[in-house]
Amino acid sequence: MATIFQRYGGFAVISRIVLSFYDRVLDSDQLAPYFEHVDMPVLIDHQTKFIAYLTGGPATISDEALRIAHANRGIDRPAFEEMRRLLAETLEEHGLEPADLEAVMAEIDKRAGLVVTR
């Protein structure tokens, strides 16, 4: 069966989703401070590969890489929840079917422990 990544149009669509996701993130008072000194093009690139990976696309981001990337960010649970909410909102807006959206969010939730450090 085709992966979510393939069914929704591959990198072209995933990169649009991620760009629009970060627009929301930077508009959020709760999340924006985390990105104050982050190189956004690099982050957006990583995030696109990460979402591509979660949806069965041709990229691999290991749990270890994810853990290292978030180690010194001091991310707490409410911030994670807010990020999660914004991502779900973005995915929904880009037309992901409820079952697919749920599948992506389940993958995100599985990795919460690697991201939340406070």
Partner 1 sequence: MTANPVAANPAPEGLDLDRVRALLLDSATVGLAVAAGADGPILLCNEAFQALFPAPAEGDLRLVDIVPGTAEPAVRERLLAGDRHTAEVEVKLGRRRLVIAVEISPAIGHADGELMIQCQNVSKLKELEYMIDSYSKMIERQNRDLAKEKDRVERLLLNIMPRRVYEEWREFGITTPERFDEATVLLLDFVGFTEMSVAHDPPKLIAELHDIVTSFDRIVEEFGCERLKTIGDAYLAASGLPEPNPEHARNIARAALRLVRYLERRNAISEVRWHCRIGISSRPVIGSVVGTQKYVYDIFGPGVNLASRLEPLCGPMQILLDERTHQLLAGELPCTSLGTQTIRGFGEQHVYRLEGATGSERP
Q: Name the residues that contact partner 1, by CB under 8 A.
A: 11, 15, 19, 26, 32-33, 35-36, 40-42, 44-45, 48-49, 58-59
Give Cα separations from 17 to 13, 49, 85, 96, 101 (angstroms). Answer: 6, 12, 14, 11, 13
Determine contact, residues 60/8, Cβ cutoff 8 Å. no
List the one residue out of 71, 69, 80, 83 whose CA is nearest residue 117: 71
CB of 66 to partner 1, least distance (A): 17
Q: Give 58 or 74: the residue with its C-beta nearer to partner 1.
A: 58
Q: Give 11 or 70: the residue with its C-beta nearer to partner 1.
A: 11
CB of 97 to partner 1, least distance (A): 25
Q: Give 38 or 106: the residue with its C-beta nearer to partner 1.
A: 38
